Amino acid sequence: MTLSSASYDFSLRPSLALSLERIGLEREPVLLVEGAMNRAGALVEYAATEVTFEPVWGPSGGYPGLRAPAPLDYVESVVRALDPSIRRAFGLERVKLARAECSFSLVTLPPERLAPLQRIPHVDTTDPLQFALLHYLCDACHGGTAFYRHRATGFETLTTERQLAYEAVRSNELCETVSAYIDGDSPHYERIAAFDAAFDRILVYRSRTFHSGRIAAGQALSADPRRGRLTANIFVNYRAL
């Protein structure tokens, strides 16, 4: 926690508005939380004034924008509040919280500069006990998040058993990708679900689910946290007992 974070209110509402959807043929759960914080605007102000954003992409890909550390007291509040709901939604038994990490993120990389791997859906890990908590700190004009099925394999999630087969097919497909953010169906991926950005909405999903940010063609990509596609991205890892 930085010293300055003590002056911000990062508390969550005492009663959270939760809903659960199951997507695709694999019926993976996606948990939605609406209006999670008492003062979500405080988190935006913190991002705009208290931290420094740095580019995080490389020649082969990575997140197509800027990231900065998020305050630890915010992360702790969100994880503590949502842990029971995550356990219920995803049927977690005999596990314990192992680690949580978080950063602010801003998509800023123009479509023409995307590496091939940044133009297609991705997973964050094959670990079934890692979950992404995506907290939108922007509104619907910044798109949202979509989930996909890989057409050639039929995979909607990537496991360690599936990884080699998927990567073998994907390597032959990358040369055919266009220089744009994927937004809808493509020759190699079928969109199976989409969720709009909404200020102070949190999406929770397994990190091994194929997904991509929805970045509309021609959308202005600002590096200003008050104007850009600002999200807080929390990764929560559980460990079997």
Which tens digit of pLDDT belongs to each residue from 129-177? 999 999 999 999 999 999 999 999 999 999 999 999 999 999 999 999 9
Any domain includes 173: yes
Tally of domains within the chain: 1
Any domain includes 144: yes
What's the CATH code of the domain at 229? 2.60.120
Separation of alpha carbons 139 and 199, rounded Å: 5
**Coil, helix or strand for 5?**
helix
Instruction: For residue 1, name the pLDDT band (cuts at 50, 70, 90).
Output: very low
From the list 221, 223, 230, 229, the residue with the least C-alpha distance to 110 is 221
Q: What share of the chain is helix, strand, coil (3-state, %, to 5)?
A: 25, 35, 40
Separation of alpha carbons 136 and 129, rounded Å: 22
Instruction: For residue 220, name the pLDDT band (cuts at 50, 70, 90).
Output: confident
What pLDDT is stored for residue 4 in this prediction?
Answer: 56
Separation of alpha carbons 183 and 215, rounded Å: 7
| pLDDT higher than threshold 80 for residue 231 | yes
| pLDDT higher than threshold 50 for residue 239 | yes
Asked whether 154 and 169 are in contact (CB, 8 A), the reply is: no
| pLDDT higher than threshold 60 for residue 102 | yes
**What residues make up the domain containing 189?**
16-240
Any domain includes 212: yes
Asked whether 37 and 12 are in contact (CB, 8 A), the reply is: yes
- The count of residues in the chain is 241
Any domain includes 146: yes
What would the pLDDT profile of 5-50 be if each residue is shown by its tens digit? 778 999 999 999 999 999 999 999 999 999 999 999 999 999 999 9
**Coil, helix or strand for 81?**
helix
Separation of alpha carbons 180 and 231, rounded Å: 21
Instruction: For residue 123, name the pLDDT band (cuts at 50, 70, 90).
Output: very high
Separation of alpha carbons 195 and 241, rounded Å: 33
| pLDDT higher than threshold 70 for residue 186 | yes
According to DSSP H, which parts of 62-159 are helical?
72-89
Tell me how far CA of residue 197 lies from CA of 142, 150, 153, 230, in angstroms: 6, 23, 29, 10
Any domain includes 141: yes
Separation of alpha carbons 228 and 196, rounded Å: 15
| pLDDT higher than threshold 50 for residue 221 | yes
Any domain includes 235: yes
Any domain includes 8: no
Any domain includes 10: no
Average per-residue pLDDT in the chain? 95
Enter the pTM of the model. Answer: 0.95
